[in-house]
Amino acid sequence: MTVTADKKRRQSVFQVLLLANNQTQDVEVQEAEQVDFSQVKAHLNGGGSVFITSKNSQKIKKPSTLTVANLSRSRRTVGFLYRQHLRDR
C-alpha cells in the first residue's frame, strides 16, 4: 500500500473551537472525526461563536527562494518610491 492510498483512507480530524461570548472569552478546542452538531447548536443558542476546520487542511508551505526574492525586491521598490515621493515634495 502506498503512502498516498493510506492518506486517502484516513478520516479527517476536525477541530471545533467553541468561543464563549462573556468577559473571560474562553475558548474550548475539541478534536474529533465527527462534529457533534447538537453541541454546536447549543453553544450558538447560548450566544457563543463556533469555528470548525479540518486539521488536515492546515499545512503551510515553506516559501520558495523565488518568493522570498520577489518579496525582498518588492520591499526595495516600495522603499525607493516612498523616498522619491518625499524628495519631490
Chain segment 2-35, per-residue pLDDT in tens: 555 555 556 678 889 999 888 888 888 888 889 9
Q: Say if residue 18 is exposed, middle or buried (CB neighbours under 10 Å; 0-12, 13-18, 19+).
A: buried
Locate all alpha helices (DSSP H) within 10-64, ordered by sequence: 37-45
Average of per-residue pLDDT across 37-65: 81
pLDDT-based confidence at residue 58 (cuts at 50, 70, 90) = low
The angle at the Cα of 52, spanning 8 to 64, to the nearest 5 degrees, equals 60
Mean pLDDT score, 82-87: 84
